[in-house]
């Protein structure tokens, strides 16, 4: 990589109460890059600036703790004003190895419209079970929101293009920043590139984490909910980078190729389970003559398997599921069960029971969706495991 490109890369180390490790991390980064910025997000354990008085490492301080996302946004503006092109972020707790920085350099020279993620190797010791689950859960949400298949969406070892990131409207100030920025980047035309990195987790009794299991998980859930909601809205996202579009004309002229694409798209057990759940959920609601359109729209927006989502609706076809919704809705509205005679003449009285149908479906739809999703998930998982065994 040319010296000019290296000079345009800044390494950012956000820190909050990691006084025992931040200096070694920052000095390790300085061995690979000339420009290192430590963002002290209101640390109270040490005077972070004093740790670096005898170095050329720059320190930016928040007077109070504002969150990791806020620290990264402050660094972004600082670097942008100084003409930096890339911001590579490394956690201050020693989890990331600064010697992995050069693995990002080839990508930075070739992919100017990408976000680079260091995919952590979780085969080592002391990897928390919560981190393993959290990574898989976050990866699923990212796939749902923007369609990107990412193996480690929770890794904080990242490379951001400064100019493009500065043009994005980002609202997350804490850990939710790291999921929001990935989803919105893909929406706006950026790609995500991953490089393998090592990771170090100390024994549990020595581990320092500022992730609050309750508050931060609530923030993350809220952020994912907002992103999914925005994804379902019909108007397009502003593009910062032009992308190639799917050649729908060619696919429609070659139905076998089109069918193969539909069969293979988003076909992991989890993705198939969610597709089945969404199909059943919408098929149970009284969207008269609009079920297929609604299911196609939502499954396309959420990057689900459209073929499964559309076809699973047949299990909710009249008369059984609509009658069950009306039967339950009538009871919830009136406190008594619908009479046999009225139930027998339901077809002719259906418009009078639309509200019963709606009320009942709001209760029954989530239940049936969960059942369908779990069934498909377990069946798809069993089929996949059997296929792997047979192949082996």
CATH of residue 127: 3.90.550.10
pLDDT score for 309: 92
Residues 254 and 225 in one domain: no
Q: How confident is residue 245, by pLDDT bands cut at 50, 70 and 90?
A: low
> Domain range for residue 119?
3-232
The model's pLDDT over 336-364, given as tens digits with 9 standing for 90+, comes to 988 777 777 776 677 788 999 999 999 99
Residues 195 and 275 in one domain: no
pTM (2 decimals)? 0.81
Residues 256 and 365 in one domain: yes
> Torsion over CA of 372, 264, 121 and 379, rounded to 10 degrees?
30
Residues 374 and 301 in one domain: yes
Does 378 have pLDDT greater than 50? yes
CB 224 within 8 A of CB 145: yes
Q: How far is CA 253 from CA 82, 125, 249, 262, in A?
A: 52, 52, 6, 15
Does 165 have pLDDT greater than 60? yes
Average pLDDT over residues 310-320: 89
pLDDT score for 2: 62
How many residues in the chain?
A: 392
Give the whole-angstrom CA distance, residue 269 versus residue 103: 32
% the chain with pLDDT above 90:
55
Does 249 have pLDDT greater than 90? no
Residues 36 and 165 in one domain: yes
Looking at the domain assignment, is residue 142 inside a domain?
Answer: yes
Looking at the domain assignment, is residue 244 inside a domain?
Answer: no
- What phi and psi values does residue 166 have, to the nearest 5 degrees? -65, -20
Q: How confident is residue 28, by pLDDT bands cut at 50, 70 and 90?
A: very high
Q: How confident is residue 27, by pLDDT bands cut at 50, 70 and 90?
A: very high
Residues 219 and 262 in one domain: no
Please identify, among 197, 232, 267, the residue that sits at the C-terminal boundary of a domain: 232
> What are the tokens at 65?
């703790």
pLDDT score for 248: 47
Residues 206 and 271 in one domain: no
pLDDT score for 387: 61
The model's pLDDT over 111-154, given as tens digits with 9 standing for 90+, comes to 788 999 999 998 877 788 778 888 888 999 999 999 888 999 99
The 3-state secondary structure of the chain, one letter per residue: CCHHHHHCEEEEEEECCCCCCHHHHHHHHHCCCCEEEEEEECCCCCCHHHHCCCCCCEEEEECCCCCHHHHHHHHHHHHHHCCCCEEEECCCCCCCCHHHHHHHHHHHHHCCCEEEEEEECCCCCCCCHHHHHHHHHHHHHHHHHHCCCCCCCCCCCEEEEHHHHHCCCCCCCCCHHHHHHHHHHHHCCCEEEEEEECCCCCCHHHCCCCCCCCHHHHHHHHHHHHHHHHHHCCCCCCCCCCCCCCCHHHHHHCHHHHHHHHHHCCCCHHHHHHHHHHHHHHHHCCCCCCHHHHHHHHHHHCCCCHHHHHHHHHHHCCCHHHHHHHHHHHHHHHCCCCCHHHHHCCCCCHHHHHHHHHHHHHHHHHHHHHHHHHHHHHHHHHHHHHHHHHHC
The count of domains in the chain is 2
Looking at the domain assignment, is residue 152 inside a domain?
Answer: yes
Residues 216 and 262 in one domain: no
Average pLDDT over residues 355-378: 94
Look at the block and give the residue holding tokens 């984490």.
209
Residues 333 and 213 in one domain: no
Give the whole-angstrom CA distance, residue 332 versus residue 327: 9
pLDDT score for 361: 95
Residues 348 and 297 in one domain: yes
The model's pLDDT over 169-224, given as tens digits with 9 standing for 90+, comes to 999 888 889 999 999 999 999 999 999 999 988 777 666 666 667 787 888 888 99
């Amino acid at each position: 990589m040319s010296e000019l490109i290296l000079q345009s890369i800044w390494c950012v180390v956000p820190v909050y109460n990691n006084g025992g490790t931040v200096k070694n991390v920052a000095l390790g980064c300085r061995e690979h890059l000339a420009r290192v910025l430590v963002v002290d997000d209101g640390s109270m354990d040490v005077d972070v600036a004093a740790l670096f008085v005898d170095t050329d490492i720059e320190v930016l301080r928040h007077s109070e703790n504002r969150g990791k996302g806020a620290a990264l946004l402050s660094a972004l503006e600082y670097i942008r004003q100084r003409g930096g092109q890339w911001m590579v972020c490394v956690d201050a707790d020693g989890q990331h190895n600064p010697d992995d920085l050069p693995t990002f350099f080839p990508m930075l020279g070739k992919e100017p419209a990408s976000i680079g993620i260091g995919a952590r190797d979780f085969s080592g010791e002391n990897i928390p079970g919560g981190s393993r689950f959290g990574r898989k859960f976050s990866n699923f949400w990212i796939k749902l929101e923007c369609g990107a298949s990412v193996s480690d969406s929770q890794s904080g070892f990242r490379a951001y293009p400064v100019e493009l990131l500065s043009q994005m409207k980002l609202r997350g100030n804490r850990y939710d920043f790291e999921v929001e920025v990935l989803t919105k980047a893909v929406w706006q035309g950026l790609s995500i590139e991953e490089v393998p990195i090592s990771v170090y987790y100390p024994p549990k009794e020595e581990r320092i984490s500022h992730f609050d299991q309750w508050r931060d998980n609530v923030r993350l859930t809220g952020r994912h909910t907002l992103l999914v909601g925005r994804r379902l809205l019909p108007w397009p996202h502003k593009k910062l980078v032009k992308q190639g579009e799917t050649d729908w004309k060619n696919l429609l002229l070659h139905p076998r190729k089109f069918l193969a694409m539909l069969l293979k798209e988003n076909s992991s057990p989890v993705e198939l389970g969610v597709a089945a759940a969404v199909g059943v959920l919408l098929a149970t609601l009284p969207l008269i003559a609009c079920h297929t359109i609604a299911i196609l729209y939502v499954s396309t927006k959420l990057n689900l398997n459209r073929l499964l989502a559309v076809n699973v609706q047949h299990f909710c076809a009249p008369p059984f599921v609509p009658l069950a919704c009306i039967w339950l809705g009538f009871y919830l509205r009136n406190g008594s069960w619908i009479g046999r005679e009225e139930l027998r003449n339901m077809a002719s009285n259906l418009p009078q029971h639309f509200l019963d149908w709606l009320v009942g479906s709001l209760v029954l739809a989530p239940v049936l969706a969960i059942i369908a999703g779990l069934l498909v998930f377990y069946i798809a998982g069993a089929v996949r495991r059997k296929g792997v065994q047979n192949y082996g």
